[in-house]
Structure 1
């Protein structure tokens, strides 16, 4: 829904009248900073001088009440609204493809409360992930999330994209840590979660907004579960004879109640091209990095021994634990140069999740549909298994084409289409933790079927004008 010239001309003064002129950005150089998150097509398009989307106005609220005011003004002017956090999303969820208004939430940067009795933290949506973690660490606590994007990402982005971090196998994804939300709804009112996250007072509405990516409202604060910083963190590195053997070993370990905080298992290609360059070792084959932690060293040691014992029954052999410690210390290096690709390369991560019964079919499907099919284009596919559940696991399938040439965008989109189609046909789910945004919107119908129509009905009820982050989530 493109806004009219009249609507846009009136928007900035209306916002400035209530927020102050310094909270409303209209200069071209300022607006250019909001044309791309880390979605490859957005980066590619911006570099070519033709961004996928560019806001007409940016508002920077300093109070949660300002967000509600902004939404009332946007509704009165029929202007599209896109929320912006740290700009670290990989799916194009923060790209304002219809122009209009971007709401930069980084001004909401207050840690409202750390409750050391209930073990919770309440933080506004714009609080940076690393800032929050350092503050908690000073009190001997941590938010057990630790996404690769924590240097840039915000609390609101954690929740809005339904993200995950490296410690998810022990502590869960963000939806397992969210205890409550405040959300500014499209009509300028607030939704506040009930005070207790577990209740039988009808349906729990809070999860409706987890993963909603600004399409149903704008998250302004979240109450999250925290845990004591571990007294003990130990490391292991394992070499498996095959991916199948590794999956079976960890499936059994989790079924028996063991809870490593990290299981990061690399297939042969990922070990060679991804793991080895970062840890500085010439590794080959299927290698798993495993981390154990907790408050009682004896318990942690027992859990480590039990997990490694089960791995040995599947043919694993132990490698030097220092490899795993090095991985932990350098775990964010994977996402920065020289290990992270740059243009003119084409890249993307087809992260998928499946039950243990189907995960091997999904792994083979990705090999056939992506690695084998696009090998003539120079594609490399590096797959690791990084978030594990009692019922299944996920594959982080990173593809890289060193140079896509003139047809790079078409090649990127076709790789994604073939990969997602193959995953769905094999019984997998197309996304574990990166969100949907623009990238996966075309596949939402195939994934959800009639459920997408139910979601559209919810969207229509909450956002009848259709102004909230148009084009995302297939809505």
Structure 2
């Protein structure tokens, strides 16, 4: 077996020259991130001295860093009624009151004896108290978090995790696993009624690649490694996982497995369930894992299915083996313009039917197309002339209505021959639906903007605008109706509950395609100026939207999971018998509810 282990001087993550311990590196990473918002501290949208929106931050991180976006403010004012005169500044860290930690002397003694690093500092506890739902971030900015972890611990190995879980069982404390902290399902919030000591089990010090098997094309890594770091190290060896969720630069390997994650390039590389070869999880009753690392096994119900999507209620994932692929020879972007959304959906359906879908193909509706244009930087005269010619050609000569047209962005990956063949097939299908090619630059731009769009949520909150995304999977014959009905439901429910300064902005995109259906991603933006309780108002609208999704044949979630905010629909989704099966597994694996986050199941 042609495996090789990573050495400290090969990866640069383990301490070899500076003498720093892994938990210190995890802390350093956290120190670069916002405590009350998305992403890096130096990266954000803001109004500059010229009254225009600009994106700040490390110029090597995002292509739009340092750029002025002259169309974004105008778009925000027209689309959602944003007014920079109504600024809603966030509270500072030292203004937030956090209750003193609950202490369990027996557990603390066990942690000290094990020499595992820990902290009960306010900033560490607060950082680990939340994910990234609208409710959580709004509370950090303008309210308070009622219950936060009492202690944060940083295990550095599988054995450390076993010690911590054993100590938690003996001491009767509650453990909540923490990876990248990117949850948008409320999975990391502490149950308000939990009286026990709550311990956040931060896995990010377990960030090593253990080995690569070149012959069998697999990689073994610790669960705390962040996706971007995992791929960065693999690329240096000529490999990739191909798994690229929108949160890749922040989310962890263990989190991908625990939430049944999906990535932008799943058409070539697969979702996490397709990539997973082996997983190791520590539970209160022992370690669960297969005895072999094989591509498929028939040994009764698959234990991986208990682990994937378990969202931290059964145990904590410590090590994962994934399939890997050699780096693609060719990476090519493209884009297509369709006269309307329905035509675009029908084209993507045909591409899926003919099994020639590129690594990534995503169709945005007209609302999101208009929004994408607002994120362009100021063009030079030549580019402005070129854009004008294209616009005249599309709208005047081809007759596309600017208020209806939509765009698909495309990424091809593979050998030169495969990419060329795939591109020809996709373009031929697209042409039969009346689509126009729009070039690789638009495709690349749309692909890369995925990583900065999340920063807009915090920018909106600066000016009384709240935004959130939610997703679903739906059969092909229901995609168009579901998208239309959800948008209409949001508008109707909003008008019935409050007098808003602007109608809610709702856009969608078809972001993943399958043989039998697609994943649809919604963005919802509401100006809450004048609304008494913005979070409660938003929660009601979002629940109505999810109700509409279910009524239209969609799923409760495609890849974000259940957490706490979708628990009310679990029984409807998987049946009472299905819920009873989950409860039975939970009761057997964790009889004292040590992993007591309260995710997925309403009652134990």
Q: Common fold, TM-score beyond 0.5?
A: yes
Question: Cα 1:471–1:133, aligned 2, differ >3 Å: closer, same or farther?
Answer: same
Q: CA deviation at 1:52?
A: 4.6
Greater radius of gyration (CA): 2
Look up the match of 2:121: 27
Partners of 2:156 and 2:189 lie apart in 1 by 22
Partners of 1:32 and 1:338 lie apart in 2 by 20
Q: Is structure 2 residue 555 aligned with structure 1 residue 429?
A: yes
Look up the match of 1:15: 111
Q: Residues 140-193 of structure 1, C-alpha deviation per residue, up to 9 Å, x if partnerless?
A: 211111122122111111111111221123322111111110000123x21122
Partners of 2:524 and 2:102 lie apart in 1 by 44
* Partner SS state of residue 477, structure 2: coil
Q: CA deviation at 1:355?
A: 1.0
Look up the match of 1:302: 421
**Does the Cα contact within 8 Å between 1:159 and 1:210 map onto a contact in 2?**
yes
Look up the match of 1:349: 469
Counterparts of 1:152-171 in structure 2, within 5 Å, are 152-171=250-269
Q: CA deviation at 1:205?
A: 0.8
* Partner SS state of residue 357, structure 1: helix
* Partner SS state of residue 358, structure 1: helix
Partners of 1:6 and 1:149 lie apart in 2 by 32
Partners of 1:10 and 1:139 lie apart in 2 by 45
Question: Cα 1:428–1:124, aligned 2, differ >3 Å: closer, same or farther?
Answer: same
Counterparts of 1:330-349 in structure 2, within 5 Å, are 330-337=449-456, 341-343=460-462, 344-349=464-469
Gaps of 5+ in 2: 1-100, 378-386, 392-401
Relative to the length of structure 1, the TM-score reads: 0.93
RMSD: 2.1
Counterparts of 1:6-405 in structure 2, within 5 Å, are 8-20=104-116, 23-97=117-191, 98=194, 100-187=198-285, 189-193=286-290, 194-273=292-371, 275-280=372-377, 285-295=405-415, 297-337=416-456, 341-343=460-462, 344-374=464-494, 377=500, 378=502, 379-403=504-528, 405=531
* Partner SS state of residue 107, structure 1: coil
Question: Cα 1:316–1:195, aligned 2, differ >3 Å: closer, same or farther?
Answer: same
**Does the Cα contact within 8 Å between 1:12 and 1:24 map onto a contact in 2?**
no
* Partner SS state of residue 374, structure 1: helix
**Does the Cα contact within 8 Å between 2:313 and 2:598 map onto a contact in 1?**
no
Partners of 1:135 and 1:152 lie apart in 2 by 15
Greater shift after overlay, 206-215 or 443-452? 443-452
Question: Cα 1:158–1:272, aligned 2, differ >3 Å: closer, same or farther?
Answer: same
Partners of 1:425 and 1:6 lie apart in 2 by 43
Q: CA deviation at 1:471?
A: 1.7
* Partner SS state of residue 204, structure 2: helix
Relative to the length of structure 2, the TM-score reads: 0.74
Gaps of 5+ in 1: none
* Partner SS state of residue 276, structure 1: helix
Q: Residues 290-329 of structure 1, C-alpha deviation per residue, up to 9 Å, x if partnerless?
A: 111112x122111111111111212211213321122234
Q: CA deviation at 1:75?
A: 1.4
Partners of 1:268 and 1:372 lie apart in 2 by 20
